[in-house]
Amino acid sequence: MRKQAIIFDHDGTLVDSIDAVVHCTNLVIREAGCREGSPAEIRHGMAYPTLERFSFHTGVKDPEHLEKMREDFYILMNDQGVELVRLYPGIKEALDRLAREGFSLGLLTNNQGIFTRRVAAWLKYSYDMEIILGEDNVPAPKPDPRGLLQACAGLGAEPENCWYIGDGKPDYEVAVNAGLKSGIVTWGAHPKEELLKLKAHRYFDSADEMAAFFTDPS
The pLDDT of residue 196:
95
Please report, for the chain, the start and end positions of each structural domain, with discontinuous segments joined by +. Answer: 5-16+85-215, 18-84
Report how far residue 161's alpha carbon sits from residue 163's, in angstroms, rounded to the nearest whole number: 7
In this prediction, residues 69-91 reach a mean pLDDT of 95
Indicate the pLDDT class of residue 1, thresholds 50, 70 and 90.
very low
In this prediction, residues 86-92 reach a mean pLDDT of 97
pLDDT in tens, 27-50: 999 998 999 999 889 988 887 888
Is pLDDT of 2 > 60? no
pTM over 0.85: yes
**The CATH fold of domain 5-16+85-215:** Rossmann fold (3.40.50)
Report how far residue 40's alpha carbon sits from residue 44's, in angstroms, rounded to the nearest whole number: 6
Strand (E) positions, the chain? 5-8, 15-16, 86-87, 104-108, 131-133, 162-166, 181-185, 202-204
The region that residue 158 occupies, defined by phi over 0 for left and psi between -120 and 50 for alpha, beta otherwise, is beta
The pLDDT of residue 48:
85
The region that residue 201 occupies, defined by phi over 0 for left and psi between -120 and 50 for alpha, beta otherwise, is alpha
Q: What percent of the chain stands above pLDDT 90? A: 90
pLDDT in tens, 173-206: 999 999 999 999 999 888 899 999 999 999 999 9
Report how far residue 143's alpha carbon sits from residue 108's, in angstroms, rounded to the nearest whole number: 11
Q: What percent of the chain stands above pLDDT 70? A: 98
pLDDT in tens, 128-171: 999 999 999 999 999 999 999 999 999 999 999 999 999 999 99
The pLDDT of residue 3:
60
